[in-house]
């Protein structure tokens, strides 16, 4: 037999989960009922995004400092990826192994 504390924990955990679900549903209903002409687009953004926390996942435009000291805006995903690689992997010379080099 399991310890009675385990069953108490399990019961409290399940009731907490139900309470959180009810609060989430109530919040969503309140939010949808409070929409006006301006905030309807925010609801559209939430609903049309992938099912991730925060709606659509995207990296905002970044600012990068060029070698001449000028700042430029980085918008494309490819440029953002290169900027992240340059920033977070400083001085790492890496080569993607090909099929020939792996053998």
pLDDT tens digits along 47-103: 776 655 554 557 788 888 888 989 999 888 888 888 888 877 766 555 555 556 555
- Which pLDDT value is given to residue 22? 92
- Tokens representing residue 76 in the block: 């494309």
Between 54 and 20, whose confidence is greater?
20
Distance CA 61, CA 2 (A): 55
Distance CA 82, CA 61 (A): 13
Strand-pairing partners, residue 73, are 63
Distance CA 85, CA 74 (A): 14
pTM: 0.39
Strand-pairing partners, residue 71, are 65
Between 15 and 45, whose confidence is greater?
15
């Amino acid at each position: 037999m399991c310890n009675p504390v385990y069953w108490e924990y399990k019961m409290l955990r399940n009731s907490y989960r139900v309470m959180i679900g009810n609060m989430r549903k109530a919040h969503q209903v309140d939010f949808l009922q409070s929409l006006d002409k301006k905030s309807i687009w925010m609801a559209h953004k939430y609903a049309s995004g992938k099912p991730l926390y925060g709606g659509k996942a995207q990296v905002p435009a970044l600012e990068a400092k060029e070698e001449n000291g000028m700042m430029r805006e980085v918008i494309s995903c490819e440029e953002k990826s290169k900027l992240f690689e340059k920033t977070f992997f400083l001085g790492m010379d890496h080569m993607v192994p090909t099929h020939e080099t792996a053998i």
